Amino acid sequence: MRIKHLGHVVLYVKDLPTSVQFYADVLGLATYGEIFHGRAALLTSGRTHHELL
């Protein structure tokens, strides 16, 4: 499934690496960085940015 449009989203997750992989594989989001010393991932769907914390 590919997303057409998605507004800014912040999700709190228990397992960051697994969640990053899931959102990349299932929704096609691309990772473009980390913040908070690797405790948060920055993702993008093209037009907007999202965080996994």
pTM of the model: 0.81
Angle at 30 between CA 40 and CA 24, to 5 degrees: 85
Q: How confident is the model at residue 45 (pLDDT cuts 50, 70, 90)?
A: confident
Number of domains the chain contains: 1
Pick the more confident residue, 5 or 20: 20
Within-domain flag for 21: yes
Within-domain flag for 25: yes
Strand partners, 34: 41
Backbone φ, ψ for residue 14 (5° rounding): -85, -35
Within-domain flag for 13: yes
Q: What is the pLDDT of residue 18?
A: 97
Within-domain flag for 31: yes
* Residues of the domain holding 29: 9-52
What are 15-44's pLDDT values in tens digits?
Answer: 999 999 999 999 899 999 999 998 999 999
Q: How confident is the model at residue 46 (pLDDT cuts 50, 70, 90)?
A: confident
Domain holding 46: CATH number? 3.30.720
Mean pLDDT value of segment 44-48: 86
Within-domain flag for 32: yes
